[in-house]
Structure 1
Amino acid sequence: MKQHKHAACTSIMVGKKAAQDGSNFIARNEDNFVANWPKRFFVQPAVKNRHETYVSPYNKLTVELPEKAYRYTSSPDANQDEGWYEEDGINEKNVGMSATESVFANELVLAYDPLIPEGVAEDSMTTLVLPYIDSARQGVEYLGKLIEKYGSAEGNGVQFFDQDEIWYVELATGHHWVAIRIPDDSYAVAANQIGIEEIDFNDPDNFMWSKGIQEFVADNNLNPDFEGFNFRHIFGTDTKQDRHYNTPRVWYGQKMLNPSIEQDPESSDLPFLRKPEKKISVEDIQAVLASHYNETEFDPMGEGKNSKKYRAISLSRTANSHILQLPKSSKTNVGGIEWKALGIPSFSPYVPFFTNASDIDETYSYVPEKLDMKSAYWMYETLAMIVESHYTEFVEPNLDYQKKLAQWARRKVFDVEVAAASKSGEELTRFLTEQNHLIAEHFNEATKEHIADLITKGTELSKLTFKMDPNL
């Protein structure tokens, strides 16, 4: 089976009691192995009476699709030759999913339950699950049944949430997985390695698992611990690559949300779950996803000897950074909000879109192969390239631009929630769809103006300049 280009991400989950506004959040940077990997963003319509078979372009997985599917937001690859890779979205039942966080099992467990090349992989997962589920818990169960029937082609971490619960699933081997309910007062950061720790098989309210996993581990003598069932110890890895590519991202995410706690960035024992020192806002989550070891010796934008030591959270090859938010239904009736940052998250704003809508905006669905400023993807890629080309001179104007738009976005969401309070049904959906277009228009205009300002300033920064000495 060919190696796909989607295999490097960072995920964050924040429980509603850990969040400043009482929302549940799931979020992820979708990273690839190439910098230029265009993504679309639009709404997949609901379907009825469908008779269709899904065939994966990536590995030919073949699945008969249900006749009925819910409407959902989708972020597929613009070029789908390698697969659909719909990645993330919220469906009309206010159930969200982000898939996947690539994770890797050790050779011992894989020897007894190898991956299934033609099984369920990242390219298919959102497509085969999100349109058919009514709750986060059902999402875990639905995915588990697919893995039981078809097997798993890869190691993957998958996030599900609704207004009540957040679940994180780690698919480790061909047929074995576990899932944990993220406590309401906690958050979790995951970075390309198995992170879930102790599993309590007497607590099905907070843990789920594949059929026969305890017998599989016992029969093959796979547990290295004298007692307990630590999924990370049994199924995970602990390598030099983990310590330079993976664990430092978890360390920095936890450093931002628990700054008083001192930890080793290369530690193999960073906890999966943490309670934050203060309540977490959507802006805090944005800051983590946009981070690159800021204000440390490991910042790749710096000049220190350790600036290239660790892989950062925000990268040039981050194709799609998303924060999915489900506010309390008692506070608002708008449903889900999907915050989307294209280009490099360090330089791009997070644009809020309402998911109870029939459309996002044509600038997000239009993604040609080459640069076109009518495309949101290419506009933000252009912005990132300009800012980084003169980082010292442009970083502050870019941060000012991001802060101004963040303030506008928060006020806009509030105003829409107030205006939507008296609406319901199709009227509410039409209203939120209109707001999506207005939001996109505002961000597009502000971004093009920012790009124009930077280019104008940049003309004075060329090295091909010369000033005559007046004394000559």
Structure 2
Amino acid sequence: MKYRSTQFLITILMAALFAGIPANACTSIIVGREATQDGSVMNSQTADGWYDANLRIIPGAIHPDGTTMPVYFGLLGDEPLPPMVLGHIPQSAETYTYFRTAYSCFNEHQLAIGESTIGQKDELKTFPGEGGAILTIEQLMIIALQRCRTAKEAVLLIGNLAERYGFLGSCANDGESLSVTDPSEAWIMEIMGTGFDWTPESGPGAIWVARKVPENHAAILCNVSRIDIVDEENPDFLFSPGYKEPAIRHGWYDPASGEPFNWRKTYAPETGPWSPSSMWVRGRLHYIHKHLMPSKKWDPYAETDSYPFSFAPEKLVSVREIIEIFRSTMEGTPFSMEENATWYIPGENRNLLKSPKATPFPDRATRELLNIPYMRPIAAKTSYSFISQSRSWLPAPIGGILWFSLDLPHFSTYIPLYAGTSKTPESWSTFEKENFSLDSARWTFLLVSSLANSNYQRGIQTLKSLRDPLEEKNHRDFLDWETEGAAFARRAEEIPREWFNQKAHEKMQEAHRIYVEIAHLLIREATIIDLW
């Protein structure tokens, strides 16, 4: 009986995991320090795809002169084979401690990096094993977190290394955008390849541009280029010297025309899910702008070019605000799948009632059965997500905060971790997709998401009955931690490493335990519903 029950749960999970929801499509929101409630610079990302969500903290080290480091393809965890070495580059004399995930996101100096793949024209794409490009964005993010303290430093290092060793597209062989933040600044960087046949002898192996986000603004990355005209005389822009060269070579831009060079219009594909015309992109832009600037009338079908690079939110943004956006079901917009008319069924006196199965996240089979068109929510098929806070007025170990969540944010919860944390519980770093186990935090969160979604109208209420009190407790406890940390600072004492680790273990293990309890509740509910 135990074996059959386990197999039944795995069947449920796999049906949800491989339900045909488009993957490999992350969303990032960054907020400058004058636009946040507490004055921190905020960064965030939903890692939307079947990615490595094991959270590990990799310690910094001192390296002898002449040391090299391997660079890999396959670090995302979405490949059937383990990562393979593509080459080696010189190692830095010193590397910093960083938080490792598929797209590694944070380091001990409060540097945070989020990622969102963007489209690039086919002529720019690179492929592993063809040509000489060896640096994927996930490898570049790791190198930057190991070697950099500031956002601008990270942008320049990523750009310079990609030019030297070649940028290799790993997600659909496309380009990439990064949100890069530190306690003072926020930047958006976009990087593309120079073609499958690039070799180190043929010139720079990447083109890239970056733009600083104003301190009182927020900006959004959602799988489309957000930078158009580069003001080369403005220090708020950074760029590779040859960023126009592929466009001139391929006849996409004529310098003699006198027309300004538009990065997005020149290099982005004209059609497809990664293009500026995609509703898959525009729906997210619409919802987030509508949420953070509600007084303005935003056309849900407006073109991508109608949205600004960045904007001033109408009220100061908090961590909870971004969590709310990440949990969005696109409610209040034409893109909500839960509000599709097909979900309404005759009740007593033939009044139309919403089906208890109505969900904002229907799988492909359900959508095809009920003829519900797919509309991408903010977070879809998420492996993990994070929200970071970098605070300039505090020492880095306690100034940096990483709010980390497993699985789809709508069903999950966020755990606060300080930059000074050096170890996480084993249960948060032992997920194996072939071996279901409630001893793994990620398997537990996946199971809860699947069960709650299968009977959504009731399941989400059951989940929230335990999750919401947990989150309130987490936020209260976090305020207590801040008070404890301030006491250390007043006494001019260094906060012990174990203090950070104890807080992390306490919260991560508590969340795991509560989600096991939620899973048992949802299983009992599902059994009763099926029996009756």
Band of TM-score, shorter chain? 0.7 to 0.9
Which residue in the other structure is 1:79 paired with?
A: none
Deviation string 1:189-221 (CA, Å, 9 cap, x unpaired) is 1111111133211112x1100113256656765
Which residue in the other structure is 1:455 paired with?
A: 523
Task: Please state if 1:103 is matched with 2:140.
Answer: no
Which residue in the other structure is 1:70 paired with?
A: 96
Which residue in the other structure is 1:139 paired with?
A: 154
Structure-to-structure mapping, 1:10-89, within 5 angstroms: 10-32=27-49, 34=50, 37-49=51-63, 51-58=67-74, 60-64=85-89, 65-75=91-101, 85=102, 87-89=103-105
Which residue in the other structure is 1:231 paired with?
A: 263
Change (3 A) 1:223 1:343: same
Deviation string 1:1-60 (CA, Å, 9 cap, x unpaired) is xxxx9732111111111111211111111112x5xx452102101111253431314474
**Cα distance, 1:250 vs structure 2:** 1.7
Task: Please state if 1:365 is matched with 2:429.
Answer: yes
Whichever residue aligns with residue 190 of structure 1, its letter is L
Change (3 A) 1:129 1:422: same
Counterpart contact for 1:297–1:304, Cα < 8 Å? no
Which residue in the other structure is 1:177 paired with?
A: 208
SS of aligned partner of 1:202? coil
Which residue in the other structure is 1:422 paired with?
A: 487
Counterpart contact for 1:297–1:307, Cα < 8 Å? no
Whichever residue aligns with residue 266 of structure 2, its letter is I
1:196 to 208, 223, 227: 227
Task: Please state if 1:288 is matched with 2:325.
Answer: yes
Unaligned runs of 5+ residues in structure 2 are 1-21, 75-83, 170-174, 195-205, 343-370
Structure-to-structure mapping, 1:208-247, within 5 angstroms: 208-214=238-244, 217=247, 222-223=252-253, 227-239=259-271, 241=273, 242=275, 243-247=278-282
Whichever residue aligns with residue 310 of structure 2, its letter is L
Change (3 A) 1:192 1:419: same
Deviates more, 1:45-54 or 1:189-198: 45-54
- % identical aligned pairs: 25
Counterpart contact for 1:95–1:162, Cα < 8 Å? yes
2:134 to 73, 95, 119: 119
Counterpart contact for 1:41–1:73, Cα < 8 Å? yes
1:299 to 309, 328, 336: 336
Deviation string 1:376-426 (CA, Å, 9 cap, x unpaired) is 111111110110011011222323434323322222221111101233776
1:272 to 309, 318, 326: 309
Which residue in the other structure is 1:345 paired with?
A: 409
Give the number of aligned pairs.
440
Deviation string 1:144-202 (CA, Å, 9 cap, x unpaired) is 11111012122111122110001111013332110011111111111111111332111
Counterpart contact for 2:26–2:379, Cα < 8 Å? no
Which residue in the other structure is 1:157 paired with?
A: 177
Structure-to-structure mapping, 1:243-258, within 5 angstroms: 243-258=278-293
SS of aligned partner of 1:17? helix
- For 1:106 and 1:177, the matched residues in 2 are separated by 14
**Cα distance, 1:451 vs structure 2:** 2.3
1:434 to 482, 502, 507: 502
- For 1:88 and 1:254, the matched residues in 2 are separated by 27
Q: TM-score, normalised by structure 2?
A: 0.77
Unaligned runs of 5+ residues in structure 1 are 76-84, 466-472
Which residue in the other structure is 2:352 paired with?
A: none
Which residue in the other structure is 1:468 paired with?
A: none
- For 2:321 and 2:372, the matched residues in 1 are separated by 23
Which residue in the other structure is 2:200 paired with?
A: none
Which residue in the other structure is 2:198 paired with?
A: none
Change (3 A) 1:246 1:230: same
- For 2:258 and 2:126, the matched residues in 1 are separated by 27
Whichever residue aligns with residue 191 of structure 1, its letter is C
Whichever residue aligns with residue 295 of structure 2, its letter is S
SS of aligned partner of 2:341? coil
- For 1:7 and 1:411, the matched residues in 2 are separated by 35
Change (3 A) 1:322 1:307: farther
Which residue in the other structure is 1:323 paired with?
A: 387
Counterpart contact for 2:179–2:187, Cα < 8 Å? yes
Counterpart contact for 1:193–1:237, Cα < 8 Å? no
RMSD, aligned CA: 2.6
- For 1:6 and 1:395, the matched residues in 2 are separated by 23
- For 1:201 and 1:38, the matched residues in 2 are separated by 38
Which residue in the other structure is 2:14 paired with?
A: none
Deviation string 1:209-253 (CA, Å, 9 cap, x unpaired) is 011325665676534996434322222234253423222112212
Deviates more, 1:64-73 or 1:49-58: 49-58
Whichever residue aligns with residue 505 of structure 2, its letter is H
Change (3 A) 1:215 1:295: closer
Deviates more, 1:126-135 or 1:293-302: 293-302
Decide which structure has greater helix share: 2
SS of aligned partner of 2:105? strand
Whichever residue aligns with residue 241 of structure 2, its letter is K
Counterpart contact for 1:223–1:233, Cα < 8 Å? no
